Amino acid sequence: MNTFLGLGSNVDDRLLNLNQAIEIISNDQNIELLSLSNFYESPPMYDLSLNSFLNGVIKVDTSYSPIELLDKIKKIERMMGRKKSKQRYSNRPIDIDILCCGSTTVETAELVVPHPHIKERKFVLKPWSDIDSDYIIANENRKIKELLDLTSDSSKLKKIYT
């Protein structure tokens, strides 16, 4: 199933963190890396006291179900030093979000797919538009490039080449 993942890092060597996460993901025998966006530096969105983020989006093909993929992603985040925090938003070496899984929709306590905040996050929409600007998210009637044009997120992104 074609799946899009959003990746972010805002501590230590952010570019190294993102590339390491992508390498771990692509080394999984049940995941094939199809596309990789440019990376973009962006200010924190919800807690402005946090460090700036480096974000990107990857497109993968996977035989994992969304819940199985979530389990794999959480293991990668822990392995890379992400700590559980009572705060919803915190500085972290890696954050990996399942943005969408083909036309599949999921709504559980642990996972909502498509990700419910895609439309409000320029740091997701811009890198996603780099690799598949015509993609239409399940339950959405607009292409990624249209959502990017319509987002209320006015933050400035700085392009960092991969």
Residue 59: give the domain boundaries.
2-160
**Tens of pLDDT, residue by residue, the chain (162 residues):** 999 999 999 999 999 999 999 999 999 999 999 999 999 999 998 888 899 999 999 999 999 999 999 999 999 999 999 877 666 677 899 999 999 999 999 999 999 999 999 999 999 999 999 999 999 998 888 999 999 999 999 999 999 876
Check which CATH number belongs to the domain holding 13 and give it.
3.30.70.560
Look at strands 2-9 and 31-36 and give their pairing: unpaired
| Count of domains observed in the chain | 1
> What is the DSSP secondary-structure string of 46-94?
S-TTSPPEEEEEEEEEESS-HHHHHHHHHHHHHHTTPPP-SSSS---S-
Contact 106, 67 (CB under 8 A): yes
